[in-house]
Amino acid sequence: MKNDLHNRRGFLRKSALAALAAMVGAEVVFAEHMPPNYVPLGFDIDPMKGKIPDMKVLGDKPWNVETPIHRLDDAITPVEKMFIRNNGLLPSQPIDPNAWTLTINGESVKAPKTYTLTELKKRFKSYTYQVVLECGGNGRSGFEPQTSGNPWDQGAVSCAEWMGVRLKDVLADVGLKDDAVYIGYYGKDLHLSQDPAKVAISRGVPIKKALENETLLAWAVNGNDIPLVHGYPLRLVVGGWPASVSGKWLHTIAVRNKEHDGAKMEGHSYRMPVRPVQPGEKIAETPENFRIIESMPVKSLITYPQSGAMFDLKTKLALRGHAWAGDRAVANVHTSIDYGATWQPCKLQAPKNRLAWQHWQTEIAFPKAGYYEVWVRATDDAGVSQPMVIPQWNPGGYLNNACHRIAIKAV
Ligand SMILES: Nc1nc2c(c(=O)[nH]1)N[C@H]1C(S)=C(S)[C@@H](COP(=O)(O)O)O[C@H]1N2
Ligand SMILES: [Mo]
């Protein structure tokens, strides 16, 4: 259907507009503002809406589960609404937390050291931070052509309250050599092949990021033990960067004297091309052609109301959601009801702490009954805004931070 919607110059055909109006049972207000080749959400209403369970399961071997965006409405994401991204199979069970240890080793420790989980809890001060964890491939389904990887919509993100000790305190206790430049994690999950010699994922961050106050060795989330699928009984939590650096079922951290070279650090994994690439173009997966993704880009979601909502024109429509910007803070959030022709500022709260998401809210009056789309756009504190269209295509399908939009019918 998509290809029949527009004429040669990309404008929505009159017949398509009439079909949309018939489908949604309302006038499509501001239709003249739709950008060329724009596909209105009204054509895309999920036939399974209301029939699917509360979470969207992309796969069960490994488990990959996405959160529908309207379920991300809580200020702090409850664990049952957290997306799940596993690269391998869950570790063998039962897990005995009293027998769990964390080893710090690698070329750049003075001497390797092992702590029991109980020692970690007892010997170091614990801290609690709200931390955004967003999969680097969140939004991947928006890229054309589709890339390999989980076709996430925009729900592979959470912001929960993690508690643990600072990695920097533990590394100071171990003692590092001057040549330490990177850390890499190892978790107890199994490679999909079940070959014990293979590692599902082992990523890391430069030592500077590892030593930030908010980088935690966490054993609790939202005041309770971490659920098994999210890394029980110990995980690394590194906010603002692709969540793939937050290693679950953590048993070892290697302090490296070079960039970590574990599984999923290589090829195009969690990397962006250094030069623009044509959509679908194949480029050699050499280190010169790619850079490792660090801070995630600015992004925002409308978590209330749910796309497809109807409301009474006599009242203003209250909207809310969250915005975040990787290592940066969000400076402002705007909404548009006329396909980006005009933008209105929203109220925006300060983050609870660095690397937490920020809540925004607004009330919108609509000029007349009809079908609308509401777009939301955040700008970070360096002045960088979300694109209104899909950003640069890349072979891994990473970093799609295009504006989120919902369909609304005013009656
Ligand atoms: N040990 C281990 N850690 C892991 C993963 C994994 O498969 N194994 N997946 C990573 C990826 S790609 C993401 S996006 C996050 C997802 O965290 P969550 O499942 O708790 O939401 O965990 C990261 N940590
Ligand atoms: Mo991920």
Question: Which pLDDT tens digit goes with each residue over 293-320?
Answer: 999 999 999 999 999 999 999 999 999 9
Is 280 contained in some domain?
no
What CATH number should be reported for the domain holding residue 323? Answer: 2.60.40.650
- Predicted confidence at residue 61, as pLDDT, reads 82
Q: How far is CA 244 from the centre of its chain?
A: 10
Rama region for 396: left / alpha / beta (φ>0; ψ in -120 to 50; rest):
alpha
Residue 321 CA to ligand 1 center (angstroms) comes to 24
- Predicted confidence at residue 45, as pLDDT, reads 57
Radius of gyration of the chain (CA): 23
Q: Are residues 342 and 218 in the same domain?
A: no
Alpha-carbon span 148 to 389, nearest angstrom = 21
List pLDDT tens digits, range 29-69. 999 999 888 888 877 655 445 444 588 888 888 889 999 99
Cα separation of the two ends of the chain: 27
Residue 231 CA to ligand 1 center (angstroms) comes to 8
Q: Are residues 87 and 41 in the same domain?
A: no
Residue of the CA atom closest to atom 13 of ligand 1: 244
Report whether pLDDT(279) > 80: yes
List pLDDT tens digits, range 129-173. 999 999 999 999 999 999 999 999 999 999 999 999 999 999 999
- Predicted confidence at residue 197, as pLDDT, reads 92
Q: Tokens for 187, please give them.
A: 């978790």
Average pLDDT over residues 4-10: 85
Residue of the CA atom closest to atom 5 of ligand 1: 86
Alpha-carbon span 375 to 103, nearest angstrom = 47
Q: Tokens for 280, please give them.
A: 């679908």
Pocket residue to mutate for ligand 1, from 131, 188, 244, most atoms within 8 A of Cβ: 244
Q: Are residues 169 and 308 in the same domain?
A: no
List pLDDT tens digits, range 177-201. 999 999 999 999 999 998 989 999 9
8 Å CB contact between 38 and 339: yes
Q: Are residues 243 and 191 in the same domain?
A: yes
Nearest of 411, 384, 381, 387 to residue 401 by alpha carbon: 387
Q: Which residues span the domain enclosing 153?
A: 76-265
- Predicted confidence at residue 51, as pLDDT, reads 45
Average pLDDT over residues 64-82: 95
- Predicted confidence at residue 154, as pLDDT, reads 97
SS (H, E, C) the chain: CHHHCECCCCCECHHHHHHHHHHHCCCECCHHHCCCCCCCHHHHCCCCCCCCCCCEEEEECCEEEECCHHHHCCCCCCHHHCCEECCCECCCCCCCHHHCEEEEECCCECCCEEEEHHHHHHHCCEEEEEEEEECCCCCHHHCCCCCCCCCCCCCCEEEEEEEEEEHHHHHHHHCECCCCCEEEEEECCECCCCCCCCCCCCCEEEHHHHCCCCCEEEEEECCEECCHHHCCCCEEECCCCEHHHCCCCEEEEEEECCCCCCCCCCCCCCEEECCCCCCCCCCCCCHHHEEECCCCCCEEEEEECCCCEEECCCCCEEEEEEEEECCECEEEEEEECCCCCCCEECEECCCCCCCCCEEEEEEECCCCCEEEEEEEEEEECCCCECCCCCCCCCCCCCCCCCCEEEEEEEC
- Predicted confidence at residue 53, as pLDDT, reads 56
Q: Are residues 92 and 209 in the same domain?
A: yes
What CATH number should be reported for the domain holding residue 247? Answer: 3.90.420.10
Q: Which of 14-28, 154-168, 361-375 has the lowest mean pLDDT?
A: 14-28
> Higher confidence at residue 21 or residue 353?
353
Q: What percent of the chain is predicted at pLDDT more than 90? A: 84
Q: Please return the burial class of 250, using the count of CB atoms within 10 Å of its CB with bins 0-12, 13-18 and 19+.
A: buried
Is 239 contained in some domain?
yes
List pLDDT tens digits, range 86-136. 999 999 889 999 999 999 999 999 999 999 999 999 999 999 999 999 999
Residue 156 CA to ligand 2 center (angstroms) comes to 8
Average pLDDT over residues 76-80: 95
Alpha-carbon span 156 to 138, nearest angstrom = 5
* φ and ψ of 125, to 5 deg: -70, 140
Average pLDDT over residues 191-216: 96
Residue of the CA atom closest to atom 10 of ligand 1: 244
- Predicted confidence at residue 16, as pLDDT, reads 86
Report whether pLDDT(1) > 50: no
Average pLDDT, the chain: 94
Q: Are residues 80 and 214 in the same domain?
A: yes
Residue 82 CA to ligand 2 center (angstroms) comes to 13
Average pLDDT over residues 64-81: 95
Is 52 contained in some domain?
no
How, if at all, do strands 370-380 and 250-256 pair?
unpaired
Please list every protein residue whose CB sits less than 6 Å from any atom of ligand 1. 82-88, 133, 135, 158, 187, 189, 200-201, 230, 243-244, 246-249
Q: Are residues 314 and 222 in the same domain?
A: no
- Predicted confidence at residue 55, as pLDDT, reads 84
Nearest of 154, 170, 121 to residue 303 by alpha carbon: 154
User: Model's pTM, two decimal places?
Assistant: 0.93
Residue of the CA atom closest to atom 18 of ligand 1: 84
Residue of the CA atom closest to atom 24 of ligand 1: 247
Q: Which atom of ligand 1 is nearest to the CA of 249?
A: 1
Kindly report the number of other CB atoms within 10 A of residue 72's CB atom: 23
Q: Which residues pair with 370 in a beta bridge?
A: 410
Is 281 contained in some domain?
no
Q: Are residues 99 and 183 in the same domain?
A: yes
Q: Are residues 307 and 396 in the same domain?
A: yes
Q: Which atom of ligand 1 is nearest to the CA of 187?
A: 1
Average pLDDT over residues 252-261: 98
Q: What is the tally of structural domains in the chain?
A: 2
Is 255 contained in some domain?
yes
- Predicted confidence at residue 44, as pLDDT, reads 65
Residue 263 CA to ligand 2 center (angstroms) comes to 13
- Predicted confidence at residue 5, as pLDDT, reads 85
- Predicted confidence at residue 47, as pLDDT, reads 43
Q: Are residues 26 and 131 in the same domain?
A: no
